[in-house]
Chain A
Amino acid sequence: MFQTFSFGHVVFLAHAALWTAALAGIALGGGAVGGMMIAVLRVSRTRALQWIAIAFVTIVQGTPLLVQLFLAYFGAAFAGLDVPPLAAAALAFTLYASAFFGDIWRGAIEGVPTGQWEAAGALGLGRMATLRLVVVPQAIRPAIPPTVGFIVQLVKNTALASIIGFRELTRAGQIVSNVTFQPLAVFLTVAAFYFAICYPISLASRRLEARMGRGHVEPSLI
């Protein structure tokens, strides 16, 4: 039975948009924790730990997210686990976000002048204490604009979870498109939903960028 694309379908899409937001939220939370770990490993003095972080970031940034999603989805099956698409997607997006956040935050940490490390060392602070109390507080400000910018990428990329069958906004769009036979109207509406979520974040990122400046550390913060 054909249906005409109507308000009911838009409500259906709006519900699915909440799942898009939920998946992005999970990836954001997981990626924040993972990204911190990657950044810390990356600036550690142990070669082996550095290499683990470098290898992880290189692999995630050097392969398509879609393939990573398939690997998470089929890898769970390979390990004998029967996981729902949401779990596989959550895992893949968390690892993906960890790599990018780790790289962004490493850059911010390395942007802090080495004199700060030396001064903290001279004052008798250990390496972890220096990182926590001296370096990270100064690295937060330049890290914020690119971090917010990456959140836009994260929200947009959750669309790929539709391919492994997670019913978020894009998958819902396919379902509605299949019952209405009006793909143009449906997918333009889906795009409008994404735009409504992403554009404010983009604007915020740009405003923060203008205010804080990339890689610029203000001495008054110290």
Chain B
Amino acid sequence: MMFDFSGTFARWPELAWGATTTIWLAILSMMLGLLLGSLGAAARLSRHGALRLVPTVYVETIRNTPLLVQIYIIYFGLPAAGIRFTPPVAAVLALGIYTGAYATEILRSGIQSIPKGQLEAARALGLSRWRTLRNVEAGQALAAVYPALMSQFVLVMLATSLVSAISVTDLTASANNIQGLTFRSFEAYLVVAAIYLVLTFVLRSLLSGLERVVCPFKFVGR
């Protein structure tokens, strides 16, 4: 039982490439997730009952089934129906749709956290529904849910590891590859786990720094 990291460290370009792919996947999935989440939250708060049903079904279906099975449905299942994606596209779609369901709930709770009096005040001032949403609600809602979105971003980054199952060459896939070549499986995954830990730490730090830019009024007088 002796550790031997030399084979894993020798393949650092592969690890660096894998980490870059992981970061890109996380960013693109989060962007798609936020887009779907905004649409979902808006529909969920709409005045039309039928329109509210769509995001409810979306959120419940996605949140109560495993991401891995969702990835398989999109990558292996949909081609049977004539819809084909390359592995990276399928990965971003699956992760984005998955994130969107959680983002829908997070953003909805943010909008609902705004006191009713503000909406009444906005209406009394003659603001339209859209202007109220954009100038009164959006900023406050974002500030309220920023920590939750931040955690979600980290979770998405960690969840990207699943795309190695559909042959996307992310960080986990690079470990799979390296252990197949060096036969030092434990070491390869230890190194990759450490890299994920660093990525998590860096992402958290960057996002909490960004909070000051996105919602500066939260820090006034602090």
The interface of chain A, by Cβ under 8 A from chain B, is 58-59, 61-68, 70-71, 74-75, 77-80, 152, 156-160, 162-163, 170, 173-174, 177, 182-188, 190-191, 194-195, 198-199, 202
**Contact across chains for B81 and A184 when beta carbons are under 8 A apart:** yes
Cβ-based interface call for B175 (8 A)? yes
Assess A183 versus B201: contact at CB under 8 Å? Given A194-B64, A194-B65: no
The interface of chain B, by Cβ under 8 A from chain A, is 1, 60-61, 63-70, 72-73, 76-81, 154, 158-162, 164-165, 172, 175, 179, 185-186, 189-190, 192-193, 196-197, 200-201
The smallest C-beta distance from B64 to any residue of chain A, in angstroms, reads: 4
List 12 A-B residue pairs with CB atoms under 8 Å apart, sorted by A's residue number. Answer: A63-B197, A64-B196, A67-B172, A67-B175, A67-B192, A67-B193, A78-B185, A159-B66, A183-B76, A183-B80, A191-B66, A199-B64
Secondary structure of the A side of the interface?
helix
In the complex, which residues of chain B have a beta carbon less than 8 angstroms from the beta carbon of A188? 73, 77
Q: Residue of A at shortest CB range from B198?
A: A62
In the complex, which residues of chain A have a beta carbon less than 8 angstroms from the beta carbon of B161? 64-67
In the complex, which residues of chain A have a beta carbon less than 8 angstroms from the beta carbon of B79? 183
Assess A71 versus B69: contact at CB under 8 Å? Given A66-B164, A79-B1, A184-B78: no
In the complex, which residues of chain A have a beta carbon less than 8 angstroms from the beta carbon of B189? 67, 70-71, 74
Most buried by A among B67, B79, B186: B186
Docked pose: A57 CA to B159 CA in angstroms: 17
**Contact across chains for A62 and B186 when beta carbons are under 8 A apart:** no
Most buried by A among B60, B65, B162, B193: B65
